[in-house]
C-alpha cells in the first residue's frame, strides 16, 4: 500500500473507531445520577481519547487528506462532535470548563464556515442545522447575548434556504425549533441584560472580598451540592428540552466564572506549513479530562439534573441516585 493510500485509510479507520465508541455513550443519561456515573465516565474518557487522536491525525495530514477528497464539512463534523461531547460532559458534571470548551469548538466551526456550501447536499445541511441548534444552546447557557442574536438570524436564514433548496424535504420540525428559540429569547428579558443570573463575584460581593469567597465557602458545614431541576406547566416556553424555568434555575445555581482563569494564551503552531492561530477561538483541541481546570477563586458548582417532563419512574430513579 502506498503512502498516499495509507493516510486516508488510516483516517477512515480512526473515524469509524471514534464513531463506535461514541455510540456507547450516545444514550447515556445527561445528568450525574441514577446509574450515569462511573461507568459512563470511563466510556466518555475513551470517546474523548478517540476523537483527540482523530483530530490530531487530520491536523497533521490535512494536505494529503484534502488531496484524497476530504471535505471541509467532514472536519466540521468532527469538531462539532467534540463540542457535543464537551457539552454532554458539562451536563453530567456541572463543571463550567466543559461548557466553555464546547463554546470554543462551536465558535471555531462557525467562524471557519466548515459547513458552508451545504446547499448541495441534504445530509450535510441537516448536520449544519444540528450544529446551529447545539451552538445556540451552549451560547444561551453561557449568556453570550450577542452571539445568540447572530446565531438566531443565521439559523432562520438557513432554515428558509433549506426549504427553497430541498423542496422535497419537510423542514417543519426545524421551523418549530426556530420559533422556540425566538420565543425563548423574547420571553426572557433578563437574558438581554448585561447582568447574568449566575452568582457573580463582580456584582454580588465587594471586589476586595473576591479572594476570600472560596475560603469562606470551604469553612461552611452545610454545602449545596445537588439539585434536580424540572417543571410541568402546560405550554412552557422552551428551547429543545430546556424550559425557561429550568434555564433560570440552572443559571441561579452556578457561579459566573471570574474570567481571569479562563484566559488562554495564544500558542503558535503550523498547519500545512502556515502559521495557525491557536488562541481561545481557534478550535485547537487539548482534550484532558483529568486536568485541574477549576477556578481557584470560586467554589465548585453544585451537580444538577435537568429533566424535561420526566415520568414518575424517572423522577424517582434520579432522586434516589441523588441521595446515594
Instruction: List pLDDT tens digits, range 50-74.
Output: 998 999 999 999 999 999 999 999 9
Question: What is the pLDDT, as a whole number, of residue 273?
Answer: 40
At 107-155, the pLDDT tens digits run 999 999 999 887 889 999 999 999 999 999 999 998 888 999 999 999 9
The yes-or-no verdict on residue 3 having pLDDT over 70 is no
Question: What is the pLDDT, as a whole number, of residue 259?
Answer: 47
Question: What is the pLDDT, as a whole number, of residue 226?
Answer: 86
For residue 229, give the C-alpha cell.
431541576
At 265-320, the pLDDT tens digits run 333 334 444 333 333 333 344 444 434 445 566 677 888 889 898 888 888 888 87
Question: What is the pLDDT, as a whole number, of residue 286?
Answer: 47
Question: Across the chain, how many H-helices and E-strands are there?
Answer: 12, 6
At 232-244, the pLDDT tens digits run 888 899 999 999 9
Report the chain's mean pLDDT, rounded to a whole number: 79
Element (H, E) at 137: helix 122-141
How many other CB atoms are there within 10 angstroms of residue 324's CB atom?
7
Query: How far is the C-alpha of 287 from the C-alpha of 297, rounded, in Å?
Result: 23
Question: What is the pLDDT, as a whole number, of residue 315?
Answer: 86
Query: How far is the C-alpha of 123 from the C-alpha of 127, rounded, in Å?
Result: 7
Question: What is the pLDDT, as a whole number, of residue 31?
Answer: 80
Contact 213, 205 (CB under 8 A): yes
For residue 114, give the C-alpha cell.
466548515
Question: What is the pLDDT, as a whole number, of residue 191?
Answer: 55
Question: What is the pLDDT, as a whole number, of residue 79?
Answer: 94
Question: What is the pLDDT, as a whole number, of residue 311?
Answer: 86
At 230-277, the pLDDT tens digits run 988 888 999 999 999 999 888 888 876 654 433 343 333 344 443 333
Q: Indicate the pLDDT class of residue 95, thresholds 50, 70 and 90.
A: confident
Question: What is the pLDDT, as a whole number, of residue 29?
Answer: 79
More confident residue, 150 or 224: 150
Question: DSSP states of 23-54 as a string?
Answer: HHHTTS-SSSSSS-SHHHHHHHHHHHHHHHHH
**Domain range list for the chain:** 3-323
Question: What is the pLDDT, as a whole number, of residue 296?
Answer: 62
Which residue, 253, 249, 247, 233, is CA-closest to 94?
A: 253
Element (H, E) at 227: strand 226-229
Contact 44, 15 (CB under 8 A): no
3-class state of residue 143 by DSSP: coil
User: Average of pLDDT values for 217-242?
Assistant: 80
Amino acid at each position: 500500500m502506498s503512502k498516499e493510500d495509507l493516510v486516508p485509510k488510516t483516517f477512515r479507520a480512526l473515524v469509524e473507531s471514534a464513531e463506535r465508541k461514541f455510540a456507547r455513550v450516545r444514550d447515556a443519561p445527561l445528568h450525574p445520577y441514577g446509574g450515569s456515573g462511573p461507568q459512563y465516565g470511563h466510556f466518555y474518557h475513551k470517546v474523548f481519547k478517540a476523537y483527540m487522536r482523530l483530530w490530531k491525525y487530520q491536523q497533521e495530514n490535512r494536505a494529503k487528506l484534502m488531496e484524497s477528497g476530504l471535505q471541509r464539512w467532514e472536519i466540521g463534523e468532527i469538531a462539532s462532535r467534540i463540542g457535543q461531547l464537551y457539552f454532554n460532559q458539562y451536563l453530567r458534571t456541572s463543571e463550567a470548563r466543559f461548557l466553555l470548551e464546547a463554546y470554543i469548538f462551536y465558535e471555531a466551526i462557525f467562524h471557519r464556515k466548515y459547513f458552508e456550501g451545504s446547499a448541495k447536499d441534504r445530509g450535510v445541511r441537516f448536520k449544519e442545522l444540528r450544529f446551529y441548534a447545539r451552538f445556540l444552546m451552549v451560547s444561551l447557557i453561557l449568556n453570550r447575548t450577542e452571539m445568540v442574536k447572530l446565531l438566531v438570524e443565521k439559523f432562520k436564514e438557513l432554515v428558509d434556504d433549506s426549504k427553497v433548496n430541498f423542496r422535497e424535504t419537510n423542514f417543519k420540525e426545524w421551523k418549530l425549533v426556530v420559533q422556540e428559540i425566538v420565543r425563548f429569547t423574547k420571553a426572557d428579558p433578563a437574558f438581554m441584560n448585561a447582568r447574568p443570573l449566575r452568582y457573580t463575584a463582580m456584582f454580588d460581593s465587594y471586589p476586595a472580598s473576591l479572594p476570600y469567597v472560596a475560603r469562606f465557602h470551604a469553612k461552611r458545614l452545610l454545602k449545596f451540592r445537588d439539585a434536580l431541576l424540572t417543571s410541568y406547566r402546560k405550554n412552557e416556553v422552551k428551547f429543545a428540552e430546556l424550559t425557561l424555568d429550568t434555564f433560570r434555575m440552572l443559571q441561579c445555581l452556578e457561579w459566573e466564572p471570574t474570567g481571569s482563569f479562563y484566559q488562554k494564551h495564544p500558542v503558535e503552531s503550523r498547519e500545512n506549513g502556515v502559521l495557525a492561530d491557536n488562541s481561545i477561538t481557534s478550535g485547537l483541541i487539548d482534550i484532558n479530562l483529568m486536568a485541574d481546570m477549576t477556578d481557584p477563586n470560586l467554589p465548585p458548582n453544585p451537580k444538577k439534573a435537568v429533566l424535561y417532563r420526566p415520568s414518575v419512574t424517572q423522577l424517582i430513579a434520579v432522586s434516589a441516585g441523588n441521595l446515594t
